[in-house]
A = this chain, B = another copy of it.
C-alpha cells in the first residue's frame, strides 16, 4: 500500500457516501476524489465502491478499508495532539550534558526544574567524552573554555566563573597563608594533570610557579576540590563553590585573568522549543547566585 493519501480519500468517501461530500471535507475538487478512488481501486484490483446516481456505496472491501482508516485517522489525531503539545509544554525528556565538574552546580538546578514540571524526566549526562548535540544525544550542553563553533549549534555566553585560590584550614595550619605572588614558590598546589589544559587559571599557575610545586595533580575537577579540602595544597576553586565550604581559607583574591567562560549550547533544531527555552531561562535565573 503506497500512497496513503488515496487511502484517506477513500476513507472519507466511504464515510460520507458521496464523492462531493468527501471532496468538501478534504478541501479538494471532486474530480480529484474520483481520480483517487479510481487509482486505488486499479492498484488493488478491488472495487471499493459501487457507483450510482446517489453517490458511492462502499462494498465489503470498502467497509473494511473504512474501519482501518477510521482507526488510522484517530491515531493520527491523537499523535498530532501529542506533538503539538510536546512542542509547547515541558514534558518528556530533558537531556543535559556537562563536564562532571559542574555537577555540583547543575544538579540542584535540574532537580528544582524537574519538580516544577511533573512528567519531565531529567537525564544528566556527564563523562569523559563529549556528548554530541548534533546527533541528538543531548538537548543542552554546558561547555567551558573557548566558544564552541559547531555550525548547527546555538551558542550563547552563559557566565563567567570567578575563580579564587583556596586552601583548607589544615593546610594553613601547616604551611601558613599565601603572602602574594612572590610567595607562590614557597607553597604546594593542587592542579590539573593535563599539561596542556586551556583553563586560564591553570595556565597562570604554570607560568607563575615551578612545575614541582604542583604536587597533587588530578584529571578531574571534582577530585581537585576534594584534594583541596583534604589539605593537599592550594588550588583554584570558583568562589561559589568555596562559599559553601566554610572550612576553606581564601589565599588570594579572584583575578579577572583567571575567569573562565561558560557557554550554553543547544542544537539549532531544539533551541526554539519551549522545553529548552524554559530550561535555559530557569538556568540563567538560578545561576545569578554563582557569580557573586
> Complex Cα distance A192/B45, Å?
46
Interface-forming stretch among A70-78, A170-178, A194-202? A70-78
8 Å CB contact of A64 from B2, B82, B272: B82
Which chain A residues in 1-37 approach chain B with CB under 8 Å?
A: 1-5, 7-8, 26-27
Interface-forming stretch among A52-60, A140-148, A154-162, A237-245? A52-60
> Using an 8 Å CB-CB cutoff, how does the interface string of A34-56 with B read, 1 for contact, 0 for none?
00000000001111011111100
Question: Given that A5-B5, A57-B135, A60-B93 are contacting pairs, would A76 and B68 also be in contact in the complex, using a CB cutoff of 8 Å?
Answer: yes
Quick check: A50 and B8 within 8 Å, CB to CB?
no
In the complex, what's the smallest C-beta–C-beta distance from A46 to chain B, in angstroms?
Answer: 4
> Using an 8 Å CB-CB cutoff, how does the interface string of A57-89 with B read, 1 for contact, 0 for none?
111110011001001100111111011101100
In the complex, what's the smallest C-beta–C-beta distance from A62 to chain B, in angstroms?
Answer: 9
Quick check: A4 and B1 within 8 Å, CB to CB?
no
Closest to A93 in B: B60
In the complex, what's the smallest C-beta–C-beta distance from A262 to chain B, in angstroms?
Answer: 24
> Complex Cα distance A84/B84, Å?
37
In the complex, what's the smallest C-beta–C-beta distance from A137 to chain B, in angstroms?
Answer: 9
A250 within 8 A of B: no
Q: Which residues of B contact A61 (CB under 8 A)?
A: 82-83, 86-87
> Complex Cα distance A1/B136, Å?
26
Q: Which residues of B contact A1 (CB under 8 A)?
A: 76-77, 79-80
Question: Given that A44-B80, A68-B76 are contacting pairs, would A51 and B269 also be in contact in the complex, using a CB cutoff of 8 Å?
Answer: yes
Q: Which residues of B contact A119 (CB under 8 A)?
A: none
Report copies per complex: 2
A152 within 8 A of B: yes
In the complex, what's the smallest C-beta–C-beta distance from A244 to chain B, in angstroms?
Answer: 35
Closest to A5 in B: B5
Which chain A residues in 116-150 approach chain B with CB under 8 Å?
A: 134-136
> Complex Cα distance A50/B267, Å?
8
Question: Given that A44-B84, A65-B79, A80-B44 are contacting pairs, would A270 and B50 also be in contact in the complex, using a CB cutoff of 8 Å?
Answer: yes
A291 within 8 A of B: no
Query: Could you give 24 example pairs across A and B, Cβ below 8 Å?
Result: A1-B76, A1-B79, A2-B8, A2-B26, A2-B27, A3-B5, A4-B5, A4-B8, A4-B72, A5-B5, A44-B83, A45-B84, A45-B87, A46-B86, A47-B87, A47-B272, A52-B134, A52-B135, A57-B135, A68-B75, A68-B78, A68-B79, A72-B72, A72-B75
Beyond A4-B7, A46-B86, A57-B136, 15 additional pairs, beta carbon < 8 A: A2-B27, A4-B4, A44-B84, A47-B270, A49-B269, A52-B134, A52-B152, A53-B134, A59-B269, A60-B86, A61-B82, A61-B86, A65-B79, A65-B83, A72-B76
